[in-house]
Amino acid sequence: MRRLEIYKVDGKNSMHYRWRLAGFWRVCWNFMVIQLVRVLPSLRLKNWCLKYLLGMNVGRHASVGLMVMFDIFLPHYITIGEDAVLGYNCTILCHEFLLREYRVGKVAIGPGVHIGANTTVLAGVNIGEGAVVSACSLVNHDIPPYVVAGGVPARILGHVKGVQED
pLDDT in tens, 70-87: 999 999 999 999 999 999
Q: Residue 7: its pLDDT value, please?
A: 95
Q: Residue 75: its pLDDT value, please?
A: 98
Q: Residue 164: its pLDDT value, please?
A: 58
What's the whole-model pTM score?
A: 0.93
DSSP string, the chain: ----EEEE--SS-GGGGGGGTS-HHHHHHHHHHHHHHHH---HHHHHHHHHHTT--EE-TT-EE-TT-EE-SS-GGGEEE-TT-EE-TT-EE-SEEE-SSEEEE--EEE-TT-EE-TT-EE-TT-EE-TT-EE-TT-EE-S-B-TTEEEETTTTEEEEE-TT----
Q: Residue 99: its pLDDT value, please?
A: 92
Q: Is residue 105 part of a domain?
A: yes
Q: Residue 162: its pLDDT value, please?
A: 75
Q: Residue 59: its pLDDT value, please?
A: 97
Q: Is residue 133 part of a domain?
A: yes
Q: Is residue 14 part of a domain?
A: yes
Q: Is residue 165 part of a domain?
A: no
Q: Is residue 164 part of a domain?
A: no
Give residue 109's domain range. 5-159
* CATH code at position 155: 2.160.10.10
Q: Residue 161: its pLDDT value, please?
A: 84
Rounded CA separation 65/62 (Å): 10
Q: Is residue 88 part of a domain?
A: yes
Q: Residue 166: its pLDDT value, please?
A: 52
Q: Which residues of the chain have pLDDT under 50?
A: none
Q: Is residue 121 part of a domain?
A: yes
Q: Residue 3: its pLDDT value, please?
A: 94
Q: Is residue 74 part of a domain?
A: yes
Number of domains in the chain: 1
pLDDT in tens, 107-117: 999 999 999 99
